[in-house]
Amino acid sequence: MSILVVGSVALDTIRTPFGYVCEALGGSAVYFSVAARFFTDVHLVAVVGRDFPDEHVRFLENRGVDMKGLKKVDGKTFRWEGEYLFDLNEAKTIRTELNVFQDFRPVIPEEYRHADHVFLANIDPELQLEVLKQVKNPSLVACDTMNYWIRGKPQELKNTLKTVDIVFLNEQEARELAGEANLIKAAKYIHALGPSVVVIKRGEYGALLFQNEKIFWAPAYPLETIFDPTGAGDSFAGGFMGYLCRDRHIEKGTYKKGIVYGSIMASFNVEDFSVRRIASVTFADIERRYQEFKNLTSFEDILIQVS
């Protein structure tokens, strides 16, 4: 079983109340891959410029991410600069330089076209659809998106949604896409657009999973120190999709467990800049946090230790 991810690879400059990094490894495909790689094989498709440091490519290769789909072209790598204030809920974008990402036309290498699962990270919905035309019968397709496309390319986004099984949205995006303040009604509207599974991310408030007429509520892991929220959504998707890919039989409860593994990977991700923390996590760390999530939400037994 393997996952194909198509998204961005970027150099991020980020300031939070707790520190600063300059041109650190980032991008949706990177956060997704590092998280998903704990569970399954990952093939990455993205584009970078000639200035992209080889050490980052080696770092991802050493983590077992298949980087053959990373195209290096003339020009500069996508750069993002952002700042988080104390509430850490919303990034203030200081500068976005799309650079080579602007002309990204994903070409899926022949050996990736048989991937079982596909994750279309937040890119132009028309490109998401182009990717899907290149792959052969994946068993599960998920996509992410953002307000920029909901407003700018609503019809193209709807065309993409018709063809995917799972959509990841944050709560503002879900409300905007559906034109509906109530999240349950919004999720029903989005279901009707195509995806049989709607995942609504709510940052420090956790996530909701809507599957047909059913719902599951997952907490975010309560952290005393959230160092840098960048990439939380993509590492969440990575944990979710990775877990689903590992568990070949999509049984009752699998999607719910996927949300929990997504929340776990996001919780590690925000504990340091870039992929520093998540890359140093062990399987034992993941399983320990899984048990803590269980204790955190089950109300017929003990409380968990947080300090």
Stretch 134-163 residues interacting with a second copy (CB under 8 A): none
Q: Which is nearer to a second copy, 158 or 256 (CB)?
A: 256
Is residue 298 within the footprint of a second copy (CB under 8 A)? Answer: yes
Stretch 159-188 residues interacting with a second copy (CB under 8 A): 181-185, 188
Which amino acid, residue 260?
V
C-beta neighbour count of 32 within 10 angstroms: 33
Q: Which is nearer to a second copy, 157 or 197 (CB)?
A: 197
Task: Select the residue interacting with a second copy from 216, 246, 276, 285 (CB under 8 A).
Answer: 216
Is residue 74 within the footprint of a second copy (CB under 8 A)? Answer: no
CB of 259 to a second copy, least distance (A): 7
Task: Select the residue interacting with a second copy from 219, 246, 276, 285 (CB under 8 A).
Answer: 219
Q: Could you tell me which of 112, 111, 131 has the C-alpha nearest to residue 120? A: 131
**Distance between CA atoms of residues 55 and 52, nearest Å:** 9
**Distance between CA atoms of residues 215 and 198, nearest Å:** 10
Binding mask 220-259 for a second copy (x = CB under 8 A): --xxxxx-------------------------xx-xxx-x
Is residue 19 within the footprint of a second copy (CB under 8 A)? Answer: no
156 vs 29, 162, 164, 278, CA distance in Å? Answer: 21, 10, 13, 34
Task: Select the residue interacting with a second copy from 68, 92, 288, 294 (CB under 8 A).
Answer: 294
Asked if residues 142 and 118 have their Cβ atoms less than 8 Å apart, the reply is: yes
Q: Which is nearer to a second copy, 76 or 256 (CB)?
A: 256
Asked if residues 114 and 136 have their Cβ atoms less than 8 Å apart, the reply is: yes
Is residue 306 within the footprint of a second copy (CB under 8 A)? Answer: yes
CB of 126 to a second copy, least distance (A): 32
Is residue 303 within the footprint of a second copy (CB under 8 A)? Answer: yes
Asked if residues 257 and 211 have their Cβ atoms less than 8 Å apart, the reply is: no
Q: Which is nearer to a second copy, 54 or 251 (CB)?
A: 251
Task: Select the residue interacting with a second copy from 63, 211, 276, 285 (CB under 8 A).
Answer: 211
**Distance between CA atoms of residues 98 and 114, nearest Å:** 30
Asked if residues 209 and 261 have their Cβ atoms less than 8 Å apart, the reply is: no
Task: Give residue for tokens 């890919």.
Answer: 245
Enter the DSSP assignment of 112: G
Q: Which is nearer to a second copy, 24 or 237 (CB)?
A: 237
Q: HSE, CB side, 13 Å, CA atoms: give it for residue 104.
A: 32
Phi/psi at 118 (5° precision): -130, 130
Q: Which is nearer to a second copy, 84 or 273 (CB)?
A: 84
Q: Which is nearer to a second copy, 67 or 244 (CB)?
A: 244
Q: Which is nearer to a second copy, 68 or 294 (CB)?
A: 294
C-beta neighbour count of 205 within 10 angstroms: 13
Q: Could you tell me which of 221, 225, 244, 223 has the C-alpha nearest to residue 291? A: 221
Binding footprint of a second copy on the chain (CB under 8 A): 86-88, 181-185, 188, 202, 205-206, 208-209, 211, 213-219, 222-226, 252-253, 255-257, 259-260, 293-294, 296-307
